[in-house]
Amino acid sequence: MNISSFDDLLQAARYQPLPQRLLFVFVAVELPDDATPQQRADFEAGHGGALVPLMCVDKSPQELDSFDALVQEAAAFGRPWAMVFAAAMSGTVGEQLTTEAAEQPLERMVEAIKQGQIGNFIPFDPQGHTVQLG
């Protein structure tokens, strides 16, 4: 399935044969302190920057009605974010995944984003549309 919006992700997760747990990492995009003049110019033009994880959460697809519900929950933490990266993990037949089971994969996801290794995740903008990076 081609995922071009958050709704596509929810639909795909809900129709998987095995239980799913969705992992989300909200990030800001900041200019590093050691940025070159060219990097500064690019950043001011809306390009580049460093991804800085701000907060993370895991949810079952059934816990989320929509992207707006996720955005409202994130707003309760009061930190403005530029993108949210999403990933999914599968459980086993008849066994729902718990938040505890998602803790280590979510921590690894945060570390991967800090290192710029984002190829396995789907980035969404604040409107719930996928973002093309790179």
pLDDT of residue 8: 94
Residue 13 placed within a domain? yes
Q: Which of 26, 22, 25, 15 is nearest to 99 (CA)?
A: 22
80-112 pLDDT per residue, tens? 999 999 999 998 887 888 899 999 999 999 999
Edge-to-edge strand ranges of the sheet holding 83-90:
50-59, 20-30, 83-90, 122-124
Q: Measure the CA dihedral 69/48/108/12, to 10°.
A: 40
Residue 55 placed within a domain? yes
Residue 129 placed within a domain? no
Residue 78 has pLDDT above 80, yes or no: no
Residue 113 placed within a domain? yes
pLDDT of residue 89: 95
Domain count, the chain: 1
Distance CA 26, CA 74 (A): 8
pLDDT band at 47 (very low <50, low <70, confident <90, very high): confident
Rg (CA), the chain: 16
Mean pLDDT value of segment 36-40: 88
Scanning the structure block, which residue is given the tokens 């980035």?
123
Give the max Cα distance, the chain.
55
pLDDT of residue 63: 93
Residue 133 placed within a domain? no
| Structural domain span for residue 51 | 6-124
Residue 14 placed within a domain? yes
pLDDT of residue 24: 98
0.85 exceeded by pTM? yes
In this structure, the strands spanning 50-59 and 122-124 are unpaired
Given a contact cutoff of 8 angstroms between Cβ atoms, the answer to whether 2 and 59 are in contact is no
